[in-house]
Amino acid sequence: MAVQSADIQYFLTGGSGNSNPNASLGGARSTTAMPAGLNNLYDNITGTNHAAGNVDTSKAADYRVFAVHLASPLSDASSSTLSNAVLKISASSLGDTSFQAYVAATVNHTITAGADENTAPTDGGAISFAAIPGGGLSLPTTMSPGDDVHIALMRTVSAGSTAQTDSLTLQIQGDTI
């Protein structure tokens, strides 16, 4: 059978007990699924900070880390795997906000949290964030049921613009074997 979209789940990080998206800064996968809807991972940027190009007072960027988890067992009870998967933008209304991402190179690898939401997470050293191209960013070669892939996001906002509602919807696409 095949991996179904419901088998690809999104969780906060920050330790198994973390249920606060603002504390989803890296570390172990939480048992809390990423909530749906507005502000499900990031908080609002105030108008004053927005005009100055800051996500928080005098801070140019903020970060979040989430885990993509392949359910175990899969909904069809098969042992299918997800391969050649990519992180893609399925919908966006970004205006003057931009996002870049970093995908852990291997499954079940934890990205280390920064000291706070304005300190970049690390992965054995500094992380190189990249724009998410139309073809997506590649995930590790194969995910088996129960595997996690950690993804770090960096959010920035342009200075001098007016506050607005920006949104980003990410999705995982891949082949099942």
pLDDT tens per residue across span 100-158: 999 999 999 999 999 999 999 999 999 999 999 989 999 998 999 999 999 999 998 88
Instruction: Please determine, for residue 169, whether its predicted confidence score (pLDDT) is greater than 90.
Output: no
Instruction: Please determine, for residue 50, whether its predicted confidence score (pLDDT) is greater than 80.
Output: no
The answer to whether the Cα torsion of 79, 85, 91, 95 is positive or negative is positive
> Which of 156, 165, 149, 106 lies closest to 8, judged by CA?
149
> Which of 172, 153, 137, 171 lies closest to 26, judged by CA?
153
- Report the greatest alpha carbon distance in the chain: 52
pLDDT given at position 136: 93
Contact 117, 64 (CB under 8 A): yes
Contact 26, 112 (CB under 8 A): yes
What is the residue range of 33's domain? 5-176
Work out the percent of the chain whose per-residue pLDDT is above 70: 97
> Which of 47, 50, 61, 34 lies closest to 169, judged by CA?
34
pLDDT given at position 96: 79
pLDDT given at position 63: 96
pLDDT given at position 161: 65
> Which of 75, 77, 102, 83 lies closest to 172, judged by CA?
83
pLDDT band at residue 162 under the 50/70/90 scheme: low
For the chain, the domain total comes to: 1
Q: Mean pLDDT across the chain, nearest whole number?
A: 90
Cα torsion 130, 132, 135, 141 to 10°: value is: 60
Q: Which of 40-49, 129-138, 155-164 has the lowest mean pLDDT?
A: 155-164
Position with higher pLDDT, 22 vs 49? 22
